């Protein structure tokens, strides 16, 4: 029996056209897509399009939008053999990571894609991205959330945007591609998540998360860190140097972080470097963070850390439980774990 794919148009450049005020959603996207995907050879899987009445500009996307897409997929889960989500590129990696935490235990693929140039424009990359994403969603091999763009299928929660200009807009710095599409499609079986015995979807309310971040810079004023902590976030992500280093020549910073940890704020360390992982014990500057209660995030992307925190807090977990969960791989987002 032919596979049937649920195609969700959530928004993004792929469905826009030029106006006097810049790119804006086109009203005829569905008919243009149908004409572009017209195929009598059977090479393109059967699909049903679900268009959002108000497409999401991914720059404006919020955790509530991740939740909406996740619940739409869960609500239609039994109707289709796989899903393709058309989404804007700016925050596609955030949505892909969030969906991986909501849709745990998938036994069919959910693939996000989009384009750098709108469908219908000269030199658009939209059509090939859509066609290949549909084919991958129907291949019967995948059972996870992934992101397809410019000939590469990447694990959704391992992906980050690296270019606003190139067709190769995304990369997976610390995990291999799940598939590559050239003349043929080559699946990297060793990199795939194994199919689960059953679905374990978690779809809590994403309305109230307070997750902040601070990027370390040379000579950074400590008042900036304190100003963020004064906002009483649930968690603060420290974007550190290298393997998880912050300046340790002023003990006031570590005192500040220790007090925040004691007050129940979850403190996380990630690296500004794309490749590699956080190891807080590798340097003395990182060891001080560990003593202050900061948790290293291994080789997770910033997008995975941010969305995972939203998910864990939405589940109602207390700070100590969140810290433990951040050190544990739950959806393929983290290598190793437990000993970070």
The answer to whether residues 38 and 161 belong to one domain is yes
* More confidently predicted of 24 and 321: 321
For the chain, give the mean pLDDT.
93
Q: Does the annotation mark 13 as catalytic?
A: yes
Percent of the chain with pLDDT over 90: 81
Catalytic residue, chosen from 13, 89, 95, 160, is 13
pLDDT, tens digit (0-9, with 9 covering 90-100), for 60-74? 999 999 999 999 999
Q: What is the rounded average pLDDT of the residues 263-281?
A: 93
**Tokens for 298?**
């291994």
The answer to whether residues 165 and 57 belong to one domain is yes
pLDDT, tens digit (0-9, with 9 covering 90-100), for 188-246? 999 999 989 999 999 999 977 899 999 999 998 999 999 999 999 999 999 999 988 88
Q: How many domains does the chain have?
A: 2
Nearest by Cα to 266 from 197, 322, 209, 219: 322
* Owning domain of residue 68: 4-191
pLDDT, tens digit (0-9, with 9 covering 90-100), for 133-171? 999 999 999 999 999 999 999 999 999 999 999 999 999
The answer to whether residues 184 and 217 belong to one domain is no
In a domain, 336, yes or no: no
**Has residue 184 got a pLDDT over 90?**
yes
- Beta-ladder partners of 213: 237
DSSP conformation letters of 158-170: G-EE--SSSS--E
CATH number at residue 243: 3.40.50.40
**Looking at 161, 191, 221, which one is the last position of a domain?**
191
Q: Are strands 22-25 and 16-19 parallel, antiparallel or unpaired?
A: antiparallel
pLDDT score of 189: 97
Cβ-proximal residues to 218 (8 Å cutoff; 6+ apart), any chain = none
In a domain, 321, yes or no: yes
**Looking at 159, 191, 223, which one is the last position of a domain?**
191
**Has residue 339 got a pLDDT over 60?**
no
Residue owning tokens 């243009």: 32
The answer to whether residues 143 and 284 belong to one domain is no
CATH number at residue 113: 3.40.50.1170
């Amino acid at each position: 029996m032919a596979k049937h794919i649920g195609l969700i148009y959530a928004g993004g450049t792929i469905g826009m056209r030029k106006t006097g005020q810049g790119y804006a959603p086109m009203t005829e996207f569905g008919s243009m897509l149908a004409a572009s995907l017209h195929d009598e050879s059977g090479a393109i899987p059967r699909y049903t399009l679900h268009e959002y009445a108000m497409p999401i500009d991914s720059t404006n996307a919020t955790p509530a939008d991740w939740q909406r897409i996740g619940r739409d997929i869960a609500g239609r889960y039994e109707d289709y053999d796989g899903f393709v989500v058309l989404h804007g590129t700016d925050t596609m990696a955030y949505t892909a990571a969030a969906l991986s935490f909501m849709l745990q235990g998938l036994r069919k693929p959910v693939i996000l894609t989009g384009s750098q140039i709108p469908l219908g424009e000269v030199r658009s990359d939209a059509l090939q991205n859509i066609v290949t994403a549909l084919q991958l969603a129907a291949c019967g091999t995948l059972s996870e959330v992934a992101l397809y763009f410019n000939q590469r299928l990447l694990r959704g929660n391992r992906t980050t945007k690296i270019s606003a200009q190139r067709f190769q807009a995304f990369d997976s710095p610390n995990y291999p591609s799940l598939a590559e599409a050239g003349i043929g499609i080559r699946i990297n079986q060793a990199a795939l998540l194994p199919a689960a015995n059953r679905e374990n979807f978690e779809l809590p309310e994403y309305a109230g998360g307070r997750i902040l971040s601070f990027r370390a810079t040379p000579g950074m004023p400590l008042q900036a860190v304190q100003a963020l902590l004064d906002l009483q976030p649930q968690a603060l992500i420290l974007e550190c140097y290298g393997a998880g280093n912050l300046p340790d020549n002023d003990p006031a910073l570590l005192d500040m972080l220790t007090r925040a940890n004691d007050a129940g704020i979850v403190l996380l360390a990630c690296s500004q470097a794309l490749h590699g992982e956080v190891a807080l014990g590798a340097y003395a500057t990182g060891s001080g963070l560990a003593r202050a209660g900061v948790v290293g995030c291994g080789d997770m992307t910033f997008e995975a850390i941010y969305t995972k925190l939203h998910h864990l807090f939405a589940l109602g977990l207390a700070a100590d439980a969140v810290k433990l969960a951040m050190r544990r791989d739950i959806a393929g987002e983290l290598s190793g774990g437990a000993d970070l």
